[in-house]
Amino acid sequence: MICEYGCGQEANYQLKNRKWCCEPHYLKCKKMKDSRKGSNNPFYGKTHTSVYKEKLKEKMTGKKMPVFKNIENDKKIYCKFGCGRIAKFVSINEEYYCENNSSKCSVIKNINRNKNIGSKNSKRQKFKKFKNTDNKLCDYGCNQVAEYINKNGKVCCSEYTTQCKRRTTKYTIDDYKEKYPLFSKIEDLRYNPDKPEEKEIQVHCKYSECENSKEKGGWFAPTSTQLYERIRAIFKPSSEFVENNFYCSKKCKEKCILYRKKSDPFKDKEINYTSEEYQTFRNYVLTRDNNICQFCGQQATDVHHERPKKLEPFFSLDPDFAWSCCEKCHYEKGHKDECSTGNLANKICSKQ
């Protein structure tokens, strides 16, 4: 069989289009090669763009090419953003800029500056000078005469709020006692005796076996964020309680039992009797009833309180209001429906 692409040679391959060819690909056939030479080639007279060339260089060398390049601008092409300056740099996308970064152009700078004026994200709030004839004091609590005023009518001793002396100075122990009296009662605070001039505040580590703990008489200096988070945790409502104590290191956090607990495991539970007293009471009731369930007559395993311990703790060890019963009857008679354990725990049982 002869090649169907017109070269006149014997066909040895059948292509996907069911045609027979002398080569495994039709473009390798001599007839097709000759037909695509010179001006017959669809890419004749065309060149690759600079962007494509830069990408090829990146693939070949493995190095990323710079986004902007210096150029000799003989044609006097101006900046893309319309600032009126002659372009000195060109990007990979063949766009011309006056600087090697678009954000450095004066037009873009002015746009970004106008966006930040009066916005909540602006870090510094600038004040203007005014004549303080009434000798008003700074509104930020530094007790100095104000020299600057802002649009909202607030006065300050400095041009920026971040430069106010009250903002730059640290809180003292007296400040914490005055502003957060509960915090100063819960936590022991003192100044670092090695640095009396700096008035560095020190506290105890919560992990009892740490050298900086209260049990071992140690101290350490917490960060400002630790102090803030500890105060915030103390003033949270009990329903949102999450442990947040002072720890001097991550090791103390991981070793401490209280870390990340939603309730205090060492908190005293409201129990009016000891375990030994309850065992004596339980054994007395079972022997009195001959270990027989008082409801079904089978062998008794539990003791049922006629008056629930949660609602009437005074009768919790009174044998006159207790009966021997099996596990099944104990659940049906005392821990089901409105008198269930969950309802009794919430003190909403209405059955008497």
| Local confidence band at 130 (pLDDT 50, 70, 90 cut-offs) | confident
Verify that 36 and 83 share a domain, yes or no: no
Verify that 279 and 337 share a domain, yes or no: yes
What pLDDT is stored for residue 106 in this prediction? 81
Name which of 85-99, 163-177, 276-290, 293-307 the model is least confident about: 163-177
* Residue 8 within a domain: yes
* pLDDT score of 122 more than 60: no
More confident residue, 70 or 339: 70
Verify that 59 and 33 share a domain, yes or no: no
What's the burial of 241, exposed, middle or buried (CB within 10 Å: 0-12/13-18/19+)?
middle
Verify that 282 and 234 share a domain, yes or no: no
- pLDDT tens profile 225-255: 888 888 888 777 655 556 688 999 888 888 8
Question: Could you tell me the residue range of the domain that residue 22 belongs to?
Answer: 1-46
The pLDDT > 90 percentage for the chain reads 9
* Residue 114 within a domain: no
Verify that 54 and 42 share a domain, yes or no: no
The pLDDT > 70 percentage for the chain reads 79
* Residue 269 within a domain: no
* Residue 59 within a domain: yes
Verify that 204 and 229 share a domain, yes or no: yes
Name which of 260-264, 292-296, 321-325 the model is least confident about: 260-264
Contact 319, 306 (CB under 8 A): no
* pLDDT score of 295 more than 70: yes
Name which of 32-41, 113-122, 308-317 the model is least confident about: 113-122
- pLDDT tens profile 153-203: 888 888 877 677 665 557 788 888 888 888 888 888 999 998 888 888 999
What pLDDT is stored for residue 266 in this prediction? 47
Verify that 317 and 334 share a domain, yes or no: yes
Q: What is the pTM of this model?
A: 0.35
CA-based torsion, 285, 287, 292, 294: positive or negative: negative
* Residue 334 within a domain: yes
Average confidence (pLDDT) over 133-155: 81
* pLDDT score of 258 more than 70: yes
Domains: count for the chain: 4
Q: Which residue has the tokens 């129990």?
A: 271
* Residue 160 within a domain: no
Q: What is the DSSP string of 101-142?
A: SGGGSHHHHHHHHHHHTT-TT-S--B-EE---TT-PBPTTS-
Verify that 190 and 219 share a domain, yes or no: yes
* pLDDT score of 97 more than 60: yes
Q: Which of 220, 255, 290 is the last residue of a domain?
A: 255
Q: Which residue has the tokens 């329903």?
A: 239
What pLDDT is stored for residue 211 in this prediction? 92
